[in-house]
Amino acid sequence: MGGVISYIKPRSIARDLCWEIGDEIVSINGHPLQDIIDYRFYCSEEFLKVRIRRGDESAGFEIEKDLDMTLGVEFEDILFDGVRTCGANCIFCFVEQLPKGLRQPLYLKDDDYRLSFLHGNFITLANVTEDDLERIVTMRLSPLYISVHTTEQDLREKMLGRKAPDILAQIDTLAKARISLHTQIVLCPGINDGKHLDRSIRDLADRYPTVQSIAIVPAGLSAHRGDKTQIDSIERYYSGCIIKKVKVWQLLCMHEKGTRLVWPADEFYLNAGKPVLSVAAYERYPQIENGVGLVGQFKESANRVTRILPTKLSRSVKITVVTGLLSASLLREWAASLNCENLTVRVQPITNHLFGEMVTVTGLIAGRDIIDQLRGQDLGDAVIVPSVAVRDGAFLDDVTPQEVERELGCRVIVTEPRPYKLVRTIIRELT
């Protein structure tokens, strides 16, 4: 176990010691390294004893350095012992609803507390040991992002499809060390809503400020669910009811704790046809990556566009912006508000055939669906693809933006799905 070096910075300690790419840092001050967290934690000392392995040989180095100085290396992977998978069989698991033939990494169900700390991945805490909890506390791995779903033990185990420790007891353990948690409840109509949702919110709110935020997000459903537990889709009326329920909790939490604490995902507002909260109401977007406040952020970005968009472009520019069905009306409203001569913005929603037409979010658009639905159309100077739909240089169906470009015979530009970024891209790339 150890970290394999993939890069050595010039004028670094590692360079001075003649370490090489491919060398493995095995331990620091006698502590074996299982991930980059260990490396960073144990490197914070002034005096280090580092053991390096190169092939079948190993060597030790004694290093004296400033406290804030690193060794100057990067690693092939941030987890030296591999990703810890969840071992669960969640009734709403989207990974198990994926069609066959996608990239293999997409089928990996990680549930690794280290990725929660490093990247904000949501985890269940169902597979952490007492040693893991002790390490989280000792190394101050905060904040963590926790999928709670429900605080009722029997119901939670039913939803996870496995035995699991008492989530509230785990949260209380972390609370003693002042570890901050951002939590989510994946809502499954008829299963963990109603009185169950009220109890979960109450239990989590009682653990503020350890619990810093609670997001209510709809379960993702695809056309490939097979024989998994039946879960109803989130409809317009139901979405409106959830918004009202959460608003009551927000008022109560604001009165008692000075924070709204709980927020519904934007998808509920879009489904219900209701306006999202004001920017200030999201309290600095504690769960923006979880789809909570993206619409508000979009509108805030739209207001900034007027500062950079000229009244007239130097030449005529026409673009086609692709999006999921859910956010199409929002984008069309923004495009219609642009007051710039020589600029035409066409919004093209993409129906999701890869996962099923009930999947309407932009982040799950497939490259082949874009090609099939845009082929033969006048797309203008460029097709703008939101970056949330592209991971590791490809769409989820492994089609790359370059392939879409070749098939459509039109330039494809991948950019952040925010008006300010989009307009900056237009000005920089197309005028």
* Residue 80 is assigned to a structural domain of this protein: no
Give yes or no: residues 211 and 254 share one domain.
Answer: yes
In a domain, 120, yes or no: yes
Which amino acid does the sequence have at 127? N
Contact present, 383 and 413 (Cβ < 8 Å): yes
Tell me the average pLDDT across 250-276: 97
Same domain, 142 and 251: yes
Q: Is residue 136 part of a domain?
A: yes
CATH number of 171's domain: 3.80.30.10
CA distance 125 to 294: 27
Residue 376 lies in a domain: yes
Mean pLDDT to the nearest integer, 279-287: 95
pLDDT of residue 163: 94
| Domain stops at, among 223, 258, 291 | 291
- Within this chain, do residues 100 and 195 fall inside the same structural domain, yes or no? yes
Q: Which residues 6+ apart lie within 8 Å of 415 measured at CB?
A: 384, 385, 386, 387, 421, 422, 425
Q: Do residues 394 and 423 share a domain?
A: yes
* Band (104; pLDDT cuts 50, 70, 90): confident
Tokens of 305: 């566009």
Last-in-domain residue among 261, 291, 321: 291
Are residue 315 and residue 336 in the same domain, yes or no?
A: yes
Name residue 344's beta-bridge partners.
318
Asked if 307 and 394 sit in the same domain, the reply is: yes
Name the band, by pLDDT with cuts 50, 70 and 90, for residue 376: very high
Q: 264 with 357, same domain? A: no
Average pLDDT over every residue of 153-175:
97
User: Which stretch of 226-230, 294-298, 419-423 has the lowest confidence by average pLDDT?
Assistant: 226-230
Domain that holds residue 364: 299-430
Q: Decide if 337 is inside a domain.
A: yes
Residue among 161, 168, 254 at smallest CA distance from 207: 168
pLDDT at 227: 66
Per residue in 64-95, pLDDT (tens digit) is: 999 889 999 999 999 999 999 888 889 999 88
**Whole-number pLDDT of residue 261:** 98
Q: Are the CB atoms for 365 and 303 separated by under 8 Å?
A: no
Q: Is the pLDDT of residue 286 over 70?
A: yes
Q: Residue 124 is which amino acid?
A: T
Rounded to the nearest 10 degrees, what angle do helices 419-430 and 294-308 cross at? 40
Per-residue model confidence (pLDDT) at position 313:
92
User: The tokens of 164 are what?
Assistant: 């699991």
Q: What is the DSSP string of 283-347?
A: TT-TTGGGTSSHHHHHHHHHHHHHHH--SEEEEEEEEEEEEESTTHHHHHHHHHH---EEEEEEE
> How much is the pLDDT for 308?
86
**pLDDT at residue 431 in the model:** 86
89 found inside a domain? no
Whether 385 and 412 have beta carbons less than 8 Å apart is answered as yes
Claim to verify: residue 36 and residue 171 sit in the same structural domain:
no
How many domains are contained in the chain?
Answer: 3
Percent of the chain with pLDDT over 70: 100
Residue 99 and residue 36 in one domain = no
Averaged pLDDT for residues 160-186: 97
pLDDT in tens, 120-135: 999 999 999 999 999 9
Mean pLDDT of the chain: 94
Is residue 35 situated within a structural domain? Answer: yes
Q: Are residues 311 and 248 in the same domain?
A: no
**Residues 313 and 285 placed together within one structural domain of the fold:** no
Q: What is the spatial distance between Cα 416 and Cα 52, in angstroms, rounded to a whole number?
A: 41
**pLDDT, position 172:** 97
- The pLDDT assigned to 254 comes to 98
Confidence at 182, pLDDT banded by 50, 70, 90: very high
Of 291, 323, 341, which closes a domain?
A: 291
- Domain CATH for 18: 2.30.42.10
What confidence score (pLDDT) does residue 88 get? 83
Residues 204, 349 within the same domain = no
Angstrom distance (rounded) from CA 281 to CA 285: 9
Q: Return the CA Rg of the chain.
A: 24
Helices 195-205 and 236-257: angle between axes, nearest 10 degrees: 30
Report if residue 84 sits inside a domain.
no
Write down the pLDDT at residue 1.
77
Handedness of CA 149, 153, 159, 160 (dihedral sign): positive
Contacts of 227 (CB under 8 A, 6+ apart): none
Give the confidence band of 178 by pLDDT, cuts at 50, 70, 90: very high
pLDDT in tens, 300-337: 888 888 788 899 999 999 999 999 999 999 999 999 99
What is residue 317's predicted lDDT score, i.e. its pLDDT? 95
